[in-house]
Amino acid sequence: MEACCFDMDGVVVDSERHWVPLENERILPDVVDAPEGEGPVASEITGMNVRDAYAYLDREYGTTVDVDGFLATYDDAAAELYDERVALMPGFRSLVDDLRDAGVAVALVSSSPHRWIDRVLDRFDVRGAFDAVVSADDVDGPGKPAPDVYEAAAARLDVDPTASVAVEDSAHGLAAARAARMTAVAYRTTANADSTFDDADVVADGPDDLRAILEARRRP
């Protein structure tokens, strides 16, 4: 394994357990023009860039706000979640230290915009943990499930994607990693406990299992 790329939401921080109920109960009913019981659920857009999520919702359901209003709603929610509610993955700091000590490059590869990523990096003081930070904002093409963000990460790290691992918690993220020819590790939490992870090469059931999987991958 030359590199390990971590998704942010639901992996580095436990934000999906906050985003999912917030989207299902407050945000989506307010921004989507659909009869009660016929609107979208959070899992349809989990792992997508917020602009791509708006385009999807507008196309599939119709929206009650313009894109700027949609982004403002999500920015307000993100400030609350990342500044006050989310927690860092248990053991994340030591896991990254061990990977880097073993010569494995480490990247953060997220659909979130940089303004959200920066909140996490600064709050938990983990900016120095990553050799590269790639947001969907950084690519000209579409966000996850397209491979562009992972291809950009491999290019920045100067590594072979086929010798790299991506740790993801959503179907869109796993599809993006596989399309980029990386080994796709699904990270299971309480927020995605019912997911089937069809695109995963392997499933990690929590932080201890993830550590064991990555340690096995970095051995010569």
Domain definitions of the chain by residue range = 3-14+87-218, 16-85
Distance CA 12, CA 2 (A): 19
The stretch 51-66 carries a mean pLDDT of 95
Mean pLDDT of the chain: 95
Per the rule left: phi > 0, alpha: psi between -120 and 50, beta: everything else, 86 is: beta
| 9 catalytically annotated | yes
pTM of the full predicted structure?
A: 0.92
- Average pLDDT, stretch 99-111? 96
User: Residue 219: what pLDDT?
Assistant: 58
| Mean pLDDT along residues 91-96 | 96
Number of Cβ atoms within 10 Å of the Cβ of 72:
12
Catalytic residue among 7, 14, 131, 148: 7
Q: For the domain with range 3-14+87-218, which CATH number is right: 3.50.50.60, 3.40.720.10, 3.40.50.1000, 3.30.590.20?
A: 3.40.50.1000
